[in-house]
Structure 1
Amino acid sequence: MKIVCVGEMLIDFVCTDTNKGLVNGVNYVKKSGGAPANVAACIGKLGGDAVLVGSVGNDPFGEFLINEVKGYGVNTDQVASLSSSTTLAFVSLGDNGEREFAFNRGADEQLSLDDSTINALLEDSILHLGSATALLGGELGDSYLRLAEQGKKNGNVICFDPNYRVDLWRGRDAEFREICNTYFALADMVKVSDEELVLLSQQDDMAAGCQYFHDLGVKVVLVTLGPEGCLISQNGQQYIVPAYEINAVDTTGAGDSFIGAILFQMANSQPGDKFFQDEFKGFIEFAGKVSGLVCAKIGAMTALPTLPEVNAMTFVIKKK
């Protein structure tokens, strides 16, 4: 089964001056990025069938992105090259791997899909909605919602990752919550960070926050807890799958590789009556290994491992 990832492709200019921030940083390295592109690349690198849907500029950066993603085995037939400039993001890193973003938005917001393309994309596919920019509106926002609504009608498995970015939504958190609620009502699975859980559910208690999403129709809620692992909430049960010991140097793309690894496994399994309930612990353990390897290197895509590389590594569960 193919996995359709929709949204931005962009260039990450990563500042190599650690702890300088974007204000004082001078040296930058060009990396391919964008959350949906990162997820698709992860799936492709693992050997899955990933289709990326998005738009870039008809410029050197756009050409670079398409070639780069193709190199990970991703189908880019639905990536449009437009007259606008390719979207850029500038990223600085601290010693602990945490990051600071600045966006220069371009062609990604102009993605437009017709009904026949939407229907073709949804045929025998899992739909992943993990764009950080699609919820801002524009033609991308319209196409994103139409894909989600048609996928719901068709019975596609739909995964939603809100991908909250404070710099994109500063002072507009209530609007972000309202838009996300539309997608929670359409999604089967949702991945949020612990901070996003509080922001979007308005609940400090994790169980109550998960129940907020379940009440909107979400079957499975995954809450990433950083070094503490990942909480799974499904069918009235909640438990934490612990993380592995890693030496984090760059968390850029960690969440994208995590969900990509889960989607890769879902596409090679059957949901059954309980929607993968018996498989999710194994899905999360595998995804933790993939994202752990990504965190140990610089770059969202260049750090992605192959399936044999994941299987060849020995991982140690992080002690509390």
Structure 2
Amino acid sequence: MSFLVIGECVADVVRAPGTADRVHPGGSPANVAYGLARLGRDVTLLTQLADDPAGRLIGDHLRGAGVRVEVGGLPERTPSAVVGLDAEGRATYAFDIVWTLEAGGLPARAPAHVHIGSIAAVTAPGAAAVLTVTERLRDRATVSYDPNVRPGLMGEHGSAVARVERCVALADLVKASDEDLAWLYPGEDPEAVATRWLALGPAVVLVTRGAAGSFAVTRHHTVAAGAPRVDVVDTVGAGDSFMSAALDALTVRDRAALGALSAGELTGLLARAGAAAAVTVSRAGARPPDRAELDAAREDPAGT
């Protein structure tokens, strides 16, 4: 099964108390593409990279894992983010990003699945190209979406919610964090929001809750899974690793089959995706597991 991921690359400047700054390749969609490639999947990333040191670092990182990189227009500089880590490894972000993706023609390789999300799906002017390509491909490919909310870049709240919900309506599978939902719908129960999103179009909604685990909602089932115990180094890329492992687990599914997943299948999906996130938070930067590491983590979920 081939994947097309559309979205931003970001140079993450990781800043933690008492340590020197570290620069890691990042950007949520780029992390998902990298995670899929690490799991041996055929994946193309449609993105923007400048011809600068950060752009070359990220491009080499992605291609080194086997990601095909297609560039839709050259920005003046590669986007960056200062990632601040607190004493428990939780991340906050300050972005320097311009997103001007050009739609152009369809990718040379027709994908079986399209993944969109984060800054690229809601930030003008490039978001229009993301949605245009996704809509062109949706008749022949399934679609997933991760809002990966960054409040400082979302603009006015009401219009931001509308942009997110448009992407939700395009998707067959949506993954969001409880923090995403708390910003989008303050005071609302995450499970109620996930159920309401199903009415917009998706067959499956996954919600991550950090150390509290995750849950999945379909029209037939609601299931939950705990998170593996792990010593957290930092949380950068954890949700993206969860997303890539979830997509990897669903590669034999078509649109109709997604909605027919059994409770046991959903529970297994959450457990595998949670294990991938746990491996990622156990080491610095957005470094998702390869297949052997993920299989080992599933065999020893407590990390003992």
Question: Residue 36 of structure 1 aligns to which amino acid in structure 2?
Answer: P
Unmatched 5+ stretches in structure 2: none
The alpha-carbon deviation at position 73 of structure 1 amounts to 1.3
Residue 7 in structure 1 maps to residue 10 in structure 2: no
- 2:204 — aligned with what? 220
- 2:57 — aligned with what? 64
- 1:307 — aligned with what? 291
Whether the 8 Å CA contact 2:119–2:150 is kept in 1: the answer is: yes
- 1:264 — aligned with what? 248
The 1-side partners of 2:75 and 2:230 are apart by 42
Question: Residue 169 of structure 1 aligns to which amino acid in structure 2?
Answer: M
Residue 281 in structure 1 maps to residue 267 in structure 2: yes
Whether the 8 Å CA contact 1:32–1:65 is kept in 2: the answer is: yes
- 1:132 — aligned with what? 119
The alpha-carbon deviation at position 155 of structure 1 amounts to 4.1
The 2-side partners of 1:38 and 1:189 are apart by 18
The alpha-carbon deviation at position 79 of structure 1 amounts to 2.5
Whether the 8 Å CA contact 2:224–2:270 is kept in 1: the answer is: no
The 2-side partners of 1:203 and 1:103 are apart by 27
Whether the 8 Å CA contact 1:160–1:187 is kept in 2: the answer is: yes
Alignment RMSD, CA only? Answer: 2.1
Moved more, 235-244 or 285-294: 235-244
The alpha-carbon deviation at position 17 of structure 1 amounts to 2.4
The 2-side partners of 1:96 and 1:272 are apart by 39
**Residue by residue, what CA displacement relative to the aligned partner does 1:243-294 show, whole Å, maximum 9, x if unpaired?**
1111111100000010011112222x23374416133322221111111000
- 2:46 — aligned with what? 53
Question: Residue 90 of structure 1 aligns to which amino acid in structure 2?
Answer: V
Cα distance change, pair 15–32 in 1 and its aligned pair in 2 (3 A)? same
The alpha-carbon deviation at position 156 of structure 1 amounts to 1.7
Whether the 8 Å CA contact 2:48–2:72 is kept in 1: the answer is: yes
Cα distance change, pair 265–167 in 1 and its aligned pair in 2 (3 A)? same
**Partner of 2:261: helix, strand, or coil?**
coil
**Partner of 1:13: helix, strand, or coil?**
strand
State the percentage of identical aligned residues.
Answer: 29
The alpha-carbon deviation at position 203 of structure 1 amounts to 6.3
> 1:20-169 alignment to 2 at 5 Å?
27-76=20-69, 78-80=70-72, 82=74, 84-106=76-98, 109-114=99-104, 116-118=105-107, 120=108, 123-138=110-125, 140-152=126-138, 154-169=139-154
Cα distance change, pair 83–180 in 1 and its aligned pair in 2 (3 A)? closer
Whether the 8 Å CA contact 2:168–2:200 is kept in 1: the answer is: yes
Question: Residue 197 of structure 1 aligns to which amino acid in structure 2?
Answer: L
**Partner of 1:197: helix, strand, or coil?**
helix
The alpha-carbon deviation at position 43 of structure 1 amounts to 0.7
- 1:21 — aligned with what? none
The alpha-carbon deviation at position 201 of structure 1 amounts to 4.9
Question: Residue 103 of structure 2 aligns to which amino acid in structure 1?
Answer: L
TM-score (norm 1): 0.87
Cα distance change, pair 200–236 in 1 and its aligned pair in 2 (3 A)? farther
The 2-side partners of 1:217 and 1:90 are apart by 35
Question: Residue 31 of structure 1 aligns to which amino acid in structure 2?
Answer: H
Unmatched 5+ stretches in structure 1: 19-25
Moved more, 275-284 or 241-250: 275-284
Cα distance change, pair 151–201 in 1 and its aligned pair in 2 (3 A)? farther
- 2:238 — aligned with what? 254
